[in-house]
Amino acid sequence: MRNFLQKQIFKVISDAADEMQCDCYVVGGYVRDQLLKRPSKDIDIMVVGSGILLAQKVVQYLKPHPEIHIFKTFGTAQIKSGSYHIEFVGARRESYNKDSRKPIVEDGTLEDDLQRRDFTINAMAISLSKKDFGTLLDHFHGMEDLNNKMIRTPLDPDVTFSDDPLRMLRAIRFATQLNFQIETQTFQSIKKNKQRLHIISAERIADELNKIMQADHPSIGFKLLDETELLPIILPEVSELKGVETKSGKGHKDNFIHTLTVLDKVAKQSDDLWLRWAALFHDIAKPKTKRWDDQIGWTFHNHNYIGEKMIPTIFRRLKLPMNEKMKFVQKMVSLHMRPIVLSEEGVTDSAIRRLLFDAGNDIESLMTLCEADITSKNQERIKKHLQNFQLVREKLIEIEAKDRIRNWQPPIDGNEIMQLFGLGQCREVGHLKNAIKEAILEGIIPNERNAALKYLLEKANEIHLKPVIPIPEIEDQPQ
């Protein structure tokens, strides 16, 4: 194990521990990630003794001395060395009461510390002590589980998950990130202890969901959430997407499977966490809007608009940010049908202008979502849709270059209309503003001030409004 202990920081920690005559170890995620050859910048150092005192000694050894952050309540200290964040903690053992995941912590041995950890792959340690520097301590066969790509708890999983139910989500998160299997007894224990999840704060649940969402194939995590019966507890709206109903020989697609397919396709194209959330929620209202029509079969009319209204409730419950991130997800859910309709019905300049106007700078994200939303067993159908989408993209570029609609600002705003006609805030001002916007979006006039001013005067005259201040001469627009 010495090959990844060559970094100077480990020698410094070893020297400091030797001077203090205490044993210390690299533990947890850093050991796991190094064995898997995954990048990791967070190093956990476990000390049989005081983690704070060792951290303070390490700081004295380093030049220049790094800043140290001490958390006496938790008996931990943190320093930064180069690009690495290093946390020092004393070996401890933990016990729990039934109604809280906050442990009662006491000083412990190396064995105590390793067995309290969540999974065997996180319960390995490498010694930094001079006497056995680089020796791997693997009391719970973590290396074997690492090689077998298995998630397993060091102790009885019922104890592990009942003590800290967040570990159930962590099991699914690690299985998703690493593409590992959850060992059978561990898997069954998650199902058995699922109701314990209710004592976990929404913030911690959301943090694990975000990590699942950021994996290469987030669908793995949501399938596991479904199979372990945690999904209806956390995201009942997503769970309700499951299933196919058939009537008169006509069935609709399983919207849960479709959603996870779209999510993975978006993940392949974009690292944007909130676009991935939009992919998960794009059809969220289909169960609410599902109707049977004798003429055309199953319908989901307005599911995009109903879905948009559902987003704030879900975000609030999960303690996800109620800011522009939430509004972005709403926008994607609301607009996700528009490019698809354009690709099926033909592309008009007016429809493209309106799409650019409504999507603004998020148009590329919207197109990524909509292309991912094309799922079918019929490859020819997919090919045709993607070809049509390419036409939409080309038209978007053409119209934007000509009309500059993205993040459109009116060439004449409400304040100027009020000054020109001596009006206060009233319905007429809104009417004239909207008339200019509609004329530009419909292509009646170009998105230019001179054309907008001329059109404004024509529309004002129709409702018997006259300018009260001189206006500049208006040149005729070239034909």
pLDDT of 477 reads 44
Q: Give CA–CA dist 469/479, Å, rounded.
A: 29
The domain spanning residue 212 has which CATH number? Answer: 1.10.110.30
Q: Copy the structure tokens of residue 106.
A: 């006491």
Kindly report the pTM of this predicted structure.
0.84
Mean pLDDT across the stretch 130-141? Answer: 93
CA distance 310 to 333: 10
Token pair, residue 324, equals 């522009």
Question: Residues 89, 12: one domain?
Answer: yes
Q: Choose between 293 and 369: higher pLDDT.
A: 369
Query: Among 394, 413, 396, which Cα is nearest to 405's?
Result: 396
Q: Has residue 478 got a pLDDT over 60?
A: no
Can you give the pLDDT at residue 479?
Answer: 38
Tell me, yes or no, whether 245 lies in a domain. no
Nearest of 49, 29, 23 to residue 41 by alpha carbon: 29
My answer on whether 138 and 186 are in the same domain is: no
Whether 9 is in a domain gets the answer yes
Let me know if residue 126 belongs to a domain. Answer: yes
Burial of 56 (0-12, 13-18, 19+ CB in 10 A): middle
- Per-residue pLDDT for 440 more than 80? yes
**Strand runs labelled E in 230-337:** 246-247, 250-251, 291-293, 297-299
Percent of the chain with pLDDT over 90: 56
Residues 8 and 137 in one domain: yes
Domain around 68 = 2-148
Region class of 117: left (phi > 0), else alpha (psi between -120 and 50), else beta: beta
pLDDT mean over 225-232: 98
119 and 184 co-located in one domain = no
Closest CA to 176 of 254, 85, 281, 267: 267
Does residue 138 lie in a domain region?
yes
8-state DSSP, 385 = H
| Among candidate residues 148, 170, 195, the one where a domain is terminated | 148
Separation of alpha carbons 453 and 417, rounded Å: 10
Claim to verify: residue 183 and residue 102 sit in the same structural domain: no
Domain-located, residue 391: no
Q: Tokens at residue 145, please?
A: 């589980």
Q: What is the CATH number of the domain that holds 108?
A: 3.30.460.10
Nearest Cα neighbor of 50 from 88, 104, 7, 6 is: 88
Same domain, 22 and 95: yes
Strands in 1-101 per DSSP E: 24-27, 42-47, 68-71, 76-81, 84-90, 92-95
Same domain membership, residue 180 and residue 164: yes
Tell the residue number behind the tokens 């004329």, with chain if given: 439
**What's the pLDDT score for residue 305?**
94
Kindly state the percentage of the chain with pLDDT values over 70.
Answer: 92
| 18 and 125 part of one domain | yes
Does residue 240 lie in a domain region?
Answer: no
Q: How would residue 101 be classed by pLDDT, with cut points 50, 70 and 90?
A: low
In a domain, 377, yes or no: no
With respect to residue 83, please indicate whether it lies within any of the assigned structural domains.
yes
**Does the pLDDT value for residue 2 go beyond 60?**
no
Among 186, 202, 234, the domain boundary falls at 234
Segment 259-275 shows an average pLDDT of 97
Select from 210, 234, 258 the last residue of a domain. 234
Specify the pLDDT at position 408: 66
In total, how many domains does the chain have?
3
Q: Is there a single domain that holds both residue 43 and residue 96?
A: yes
45 token code pair: 């150092």
Regarding whether 112 and 32 lie in a shared domain, the answer is yes
Q: What is the mean pLDDT of residues 80-91?
A: 90
My answer on whether 109 and 167 are in the same domain is: no
Based on the fold, state whether residues 140 and 175 are members of the same structural domain: no
What DSSP state is assigned to residue 323? Answer: S
